[in-house]
Amino acid sequence: MVIVSACCIERVNGNEAQEYIVCLLCGFDHCLDRCQSFVRNSSACLQKTDPVTNLLHEPAVALTFDDGPNFRYTPQVLDILYEQQVPATFFLVGQKLSRNGPLIKEMVSSGHEIGSHTFSHTDLTTLNIQQIQQEIHKTEKELKKILPNYTLQYLRPPYGRYNENLEQATDLDLVLWTVDSWDWGNPDADKIYNTVMCAIKGGDTIVFHDDNPETVKALKRIIAELKARDFQFVTVSQMYELEQDHPMQ
């Protein structure tokens, strides 16, 4: 089951790929390049509490981080989240787990959530069901070595690409995103900040990557501005609970 819709992902059926692109600035399909150009050239845009009970009055946002853990930048992200008392969800690459055990333990002990981003960050739509399951199970096995009692619930497929084979291969919930920070394509803190703040609204899930210094630079500013706009920060699980209990009308 896909529980978060992406703003620009691909759902691939057989050999035919169809792009679903809805621009978060203007709301029209197939205008991503034009609107991303606007974001890139724009200089500006307009203590934790229980998120599930308080979000009836405050907009919610989920911060998520892909492609880690990274020995250099993930600790800096965790420091910012700790200082700001903000929870997040980290989608981890299995082949990076064994050498980053302390970081992973710190994530969970700090109240963050962990999801799978596959073992080798491969495009799962190019694999058969057995190969997909190997990617997922190898990641689960590596995580169990570090956190024996932690059970993965979520999978974020690399590049946001999924198909029927993936849905058949796993019972994990597939988690995508609604706001792409473009920190992988815009390696500049100001552009990352503007991209997120021009698009954000209540109920959004933002995707970042905790493997570069520009995301770290932008993150503290983004959190501060979201707090100024009275956003409440939640994990993916908490966001899903809110969507189930208080569906949008």
* pLDDT(92) > 60: yes
User: In the prediction, which pLDDT does 42 show?
Assistant: 34
Q: What is the pLDDT of residue 243?
A: 81
Band (pLDDT 50/70/90 cuts) for residue 57 is low
**pLDDT (0 to 100) of residue 94:** 98
Apex 144 CA angle, 174 and 140, nearest 5: 30
What's residue 14's pLDDT?
A: 37
Q: Give me the pLDDT at residue 36, please.
A: 36
Is the dihedral angle over the CA atoms 136, 87, 160, 182 positive or is it negative?
negative
CB distance 130 to 156 below 8 Å: no
pLDDT > 80? residue 84? yes
Chain centroid offset of residue 89 CA: 7
Question: Given a cut of 80, is residue 17 above it in pLDDT?
Answer: no
Does pLDDT of 137 surpass 60? yes
- Burial class (CB within 10 angstroms; exposed 0-12, middle 13-18, buried 19+) of 37: exposed
Judged against a pLDDT cut of 60, whether residue 176 lies above it is answered with yes
For residue 185, what pLDDT is reported?
A: 86
The predicted pLDDT at position 140 comes to 98
**pLDDT tier for residue 151 given thresholds of 50, 70 and 90:** very high
Residues catalogued as catalytic:
66, 209
110, 75, 115: which is closest to 236 by C-alpha? Answer: 115
**Residues in a beta bridge with 116:** 92, 155
* Model pLDDT, residue 1: 54
Burial 99-115 (b: 16+ CB within 10 A, else e): ebeebbebbeeeebbbb
Q: What is the pLDDT of residues 219-241, one digit of tens each?
A: 999 999 999 999 999 999 999 99
Walk me through the domains of the chain, giving residue ranges and CATH numbers. Answer: 2-6+57-245 (3.20.20.370)
Residue 154: the pLDDT is 98
Asked whether residue 7 carries a pLDDT value surpassing 80, the answer given is no
Q: Which two tokens stand for residue 8?
A: 């620009």
Question: Is the CB of residue 136 less than 8 Å from the CB of residue 120?
Answer: no
Question: What pLDDT is stored for residue 58 in this prediction?
Answer: 77
Please report, as a single letter, which amino acid is at residue 72. R
Asked whether 227 and 49 are in contact (CB, 8 A), the reply is no
Q: What is the DSSP letter of 22?
A: B
